[in-house]
């Protein structure tokens, strides 16, 4: 038995002997494994409400959405902040980002960063809309509507076609224009050591 295990077992035994805490004591099994045993197992049901969608699409929910349906969702849920032409509305009290345009601007003196010009993964757009949009009622859109509004934005950005449908299979395959536009952090910058 290594020293840490011994310490933990001793700690657990001390707790039991003193009976000082109303909390469940460390289980002998946990202590034997070098654990404290605090906390409780999380069930699949409890974890089911969480999501985070990486580029490979793991965890994308069932459902599907068309560009046409997305136009309706956008008009109902998004246009007030992001504008009829997805151009963004910077005025006080609103402040929705510009969503499309700017393609080819990144290497110029006036780069314009949008979903179209800058975002490397379509899965990120799905994740963010499902997570935090619309701003006035975050996380309220049904998955079908999230797929649909993502399809609408990507179609307005001419990244997918007007008749395309997005679902868990097709979304991760969307080729974003700036997919290869990122590279790992090279800092600390070597030039600063010359």
Partner 1 sequence: MTHPPVPIDEKARRQIDGMIAAEARHLAARRAAEDACPCQDGMFPAGPAASRRRFLFAAGSAGAAAVAAPALAQTAPPGAQYFAPQADPTKEQGRPVAGDGGYGSRSQFETEVRWRYPTPNEHTSWSMTPLDHMLGNLTPSGLHFERHHGGIPTIDPNRHLLFVHGLVDGPRKFTMADLKRFPSVTRRHFIECSGNGLTEWNKPTLKTVQGTHGLLSTSEWTGVLFSTIAREVGLKDEAAWVLAEGADAAVMTRSIPMEKMLQDAILAYGQNGEAIRPEQGYPLRLLLPGFEGNTHIKWLRRLEVSDKPFMTREETSKYTDLMADGKARLFTLEMDAKSVITFPSGEMKLPGPGFYTIAGFAWSGRGRIQSVDVSTDGGKTWVPARLDTVPEPICTVRFSLPWTWDGKPAVLQSRCTDETGYIQPTLRELVAIRGANGPFGSVYHLNAIQSWAVAADGSITNVHA
Nearest residue (CB) to partner 1, 52 versus 163: 52
Site for partner 1 in 124-163 (CB under 8 A): 124, 127-128, 131-132, 135, 138-139
19 binds partner 1 (CB under 8 A): no
CA atoms within 13 A on the CB side of 83: 14
Residues 130, 134: Cα–Cα separation, whole Å: 9
Using the contact rule CB under 8 A, the part of the chain among 51-59, 69-77, 143-151, 162-170 near partner 1 is 51-59
Using the contact rule CB under 8 A, the part of the chain among 42-50, 148-156, 158-166, 167-175 near partner 1 is 42-50
Contact between 26 and 33 under an 8 Å Cβ cutoff? The reply is no
User: Among residues 5, 34, 80, 167, which is the contact residue for partner 1, using CB under 8 A?
Assistant: 34
123 binds partner 1 (CB under 8 A): yes
Using the contact rule CB under 8 A, the part of the chain among 32-40, 63-71, 142-150, 153-161 near partner 1 is 32-40
Alpha helix positions (H), 78-164: 79-82, 122-132, 143-156
Strand partners, 193: none
Contact between 122 and 178 under an 8 Å Cβ cutoff? The reply is no
Using the contact rule CB under 8 A, the part of the chain among 64-72, 89-97, 140-148, 156-164 near partner 1 is 89-97
3-state secondary structure of 165: strand
User: Among residues 1, 19, 84, 187, which is the contact residue for partner 1, using CB under 8 A?
Assistant: 187
User: Among residues 69, 74, 119, 157, which is the contact residue for partner 1, using CB under 8 A?
Assistant: 119
Closest CA to 26 of 64, 189, 14, 160: 14
Bond before 188 cis per omega within 30 degrees? yes
111 binds partner 1 (CB under 8 A): yes
């Amino acid at each position: 038995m290594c020293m840490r295990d011994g310490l933990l077992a001793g700690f657990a035994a001390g707790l039991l002997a003193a009976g000082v805490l109303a909390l469940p004591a460390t289980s002998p099994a946990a202590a034997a494994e070098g654990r404290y045993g605090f906390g409780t197992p999380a069930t699949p049901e409890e974890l089911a409400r969480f999501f985070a969608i990486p580029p490979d699409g793991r965890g994308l929910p069932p459902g599907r959405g068309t560009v046409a349906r997305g136009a309706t969702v956008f008009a109902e849920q998004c246009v007030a902040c992001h504008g009829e032409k997805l151009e963004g509305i910077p005025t006080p009290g609103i402040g929705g980002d510009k969503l499309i345009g700017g393609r080819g601007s990144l290497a110029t003196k006036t780069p314009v960063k949008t979903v179209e010009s800058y975002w490397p993964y379509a899965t990120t757009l799905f994740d963010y809309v499902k997570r935090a949009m619309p701003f006035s009622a975050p996380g309220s859109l049904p998955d079908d509507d999230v797929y649909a509004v993502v399809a609408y934005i990507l179609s307005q950005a001419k990244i997918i076609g007007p008749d395309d449908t997005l679902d868990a299979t097709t979304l991760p395959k969307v080729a974003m224009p700036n997919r290869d536009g990122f590279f790992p952090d090279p800092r600390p910058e070597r030039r600063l050591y010359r």
